[in-house]
Structure 1
Amino acid sequence: MTSRTHLASLLGVALAALALAAGCDEPSSAPGGAAEKPSQAGASAQPAALKPGDAAPDVTFTLHDGRAVKLSSLQGKQVLVYFYPKDDTPGCTVQAQGLRDGWADLQAAGLEVYGVSTQDAQSHQAFIQKYELPFPLVVDEGGAVSSAFRVPLRNEFASRQSFLIDKDGKIKQVWLEVDPKEHAAAILSAAKS
């Protein structure tokens, strides 16, 4: 029985590694939309997810081009802060392309968009150039932005979650589960409401 348990454990680890290598297409949260706990052994429980009505964390974004943007400086505008696992992987590319393709409508709704992942500026710049993304990507190598938004990291990659912030700096809507193909339409609908 011990060797069978060990084999099952190894198989589980291998499948998780394959899913991550295949692209960021794993579900971003546990069933029912509850935020996952971190995967590191001995880590403390993840704080409760941000919810509508909470104040958005006043973080400073370091963008792919080296600029810094303090989130509070964007008050008066609606802001989408979306977290994704990894540049130039299948699910993350579909998600970014959807936002790119809906860019005119998103701008007409007065929305600022910031994509956040743990890759470095060079990786973000290559992703932007390859897919002609019209919005900035935030470098979150240390995970500080993910932590401020209470987004779990799994194997150092951010879970796929999104936060729509209203003009007063409050969380308007939260997506703990994101369908990359439908993401842009969901964001636009929420921004217009």
Structure 2
Amino acid sequence: MSDRLAAGDTAPDFTLPDQDGTEHALADLRGRKVIVYFYPAASTPGCTTEACDFRDNMSSLQAAGYEVLGVSKDELPALQRFHHEQALSFPLLSDPDLAVHQAYGAWGEKNNYGKIVTGTIRSTIVLDEDGRVSLPLYNVKATGHVASLRKKLGLV
């Protein structure tokens, strides 16, 4: 189990490829607010719900100055298929070795239908323009998450 980030922490830098193989470096987004969300697996029901929720709210998030990055352990072909099938408008990043998941506290034990398993902890980490954590959210629900997040960010 990795340590969770707290408000005020400096977000760990990373560079990961997106669904098309394009590298995205968190450091390149300094000066912008960033939402990094971790989801268990592309094309599964809950993850599809969450990704489409971000997609459908992208204009209001971008209008408020936020960039969105989705991160999973999926390999590029699965991410590319998911991105295309759901017409997503933000990058899906591949972290198959789980280094970024662990650095952000998004990998560890969780309760999955009454069983304790090790896996991706559905998490959303909001970063300010200086790369500091402004809002760490762990064990979020896929359904209704973006509406809840928008409320917490004062965007409603």
TM-score range, shorter chain: 0.7 to 0.9
Distance in 2, matches of 1:136 and 1:104, equals 15
- Partner residue of 1:15? none
Q: Is the 8 A contact 2:75 2:94 kept in 1?
A: yes
- Partner residue of 2:6? 51
Q: Is the 8 A contact 2:2 2:103 kept in 1?
A: no
- Partner residue of 1:94? 49
Which structure's residues are more often helix, by fraction?
1
Q: 1:140 to 1:47 in 2, by over 3 A?
A: closer
Q: TM-score, normalised by structure 2?
A: 0.88
Q: Is the 8 A contact 1:84 1:115 kept in 2?
A: yes
Give the root-mean-square deviation of aligned CA atoms.
1.7
- Partner residue of 1:164? 126
Larger CA deviation: 64-73 vs 115-124: 64-73
Q: TM-score, normalised by structure 1?
A: 0.72
1:144 lines up with 2:77 in the alignment: no
Can you list the C-alpha shifts for 1:52-72, whole angstroms capped at 9, x where unaligned?
000000111221111112111
Q: How many aligned residue pairs are there?
A: 148
Structure 1: runs of 5 or more not aligned: 1-45
Shift of residue 173, structure 1, vs aligned partner = 0.3
- Partner residue of 2:114? none
Q: Is the 8 A contact 2:35 2:68 kept in 1?
A: yes
Match of 1:183 among 142, 145, 152: 145
Q: Which amino acid aligns with 2:66?
A: L
Match of 1:173 among 118, 135, 140: 135
Shift of residue 47, structure 1, vs aligned partner = 3.8
Counting only pairs closer than 5 Å after superposition, residues 63-74 of structure 1 correspond to structure 2 as: 63-74=18-29
Shift of residue 188, structure 1, vs aligned partner = 2.4
Q: Secondary structure at the match of 1:87?
A: coil
Q: 1:82 to 1:185 in 2, by over 3 A?
A: same
Distance in 1, matches of 2:96 and 2:144, equals 27
Q: 1:153 to 1:126 in 2, by over 3 A?
A: farther
Match of 1:105 among 51, 60, 83: 60
Distance in 2, matches of 1:184 and 1:107, equals 13
Q: Which amino acid aligns with 2:95?
A: D
State percent identity of aligned pairs: 36
Higher-Rg structure is: 1
